[in-house]
A = this chain, B = another copy of it.
């Protein structure tokens, strides 16, 4: 297997932390997003959406999308479980991972991509040029703030995002918090539960991945 990564990007970091938690080491290829390597003919063959991460299997099949990659790795390496161990736990992880993507990660991408020099015509990831929309940058910032409030409420009654166990939902949410720092959005002072949880998950060795 070969893992196509970009050391500086939030989405592949979700997989890197997942791998670190499981103690899996993979042959890794860095894709230089800064120079546009994701738009090269060679990379398009791996993922026509021109985004990392991608997991290339030994038979040549390529898996993109973070959840698909992590689910595949969990089936091959079930321990420690990061996607739940019962139907109800798995549902909670998938639900919260989905909420974190919808309310947090895509909102952050909206805020970041619509306000960053160098992405003038790349407001969305992928091969098609879409111009920035300044209103979306503002909307994205508001949405990230609301997401932090929502997550704080969930963490007021749960140790971790999907319940009383560490999971992929925590990995995704931690990546959103660190991504938000890129555009100077930090955990609000009032969000004490979120701050407590963030301190805890950030201390895990996997957070360095």
Residues of A within 8 A of B (CB): 48-49, 57, 61, 63-65, 67-69, 71-72, 75-76, 87-88, 90-92, 94-95, 98-99, 103, 106, 124, 126, 128, 130, 133, 135-136, 139, 142-143, 146, 150, 153
CB contacts (< 8 Å) of A130 on chain B: these are 139, 142
Contacts A87-B72, A87-B75, A133-B136 given; does A67 touch B98 at CB 8 Å:
yes
Instruction: Please state the number of chain copies in the assembly.
Output: 2
Chain B's closest residue to A95 (CB) is: B68
The answer on a CB contact under 8 Å between B49 and A68 is no
> Known contacts being A75-B87, A133-B136, is A68 close to B48, with CB within 8 Å?
no
Once the chains are docked, how many angstroms separate the CA of A159 from the CA of B37? 31
Closest to A126 in B: B103
**B48 lies within 8 A of A150 (CB):** yes
Known A48-B150, A67-B98; judge A88-B133 contact (CB<8 A): no
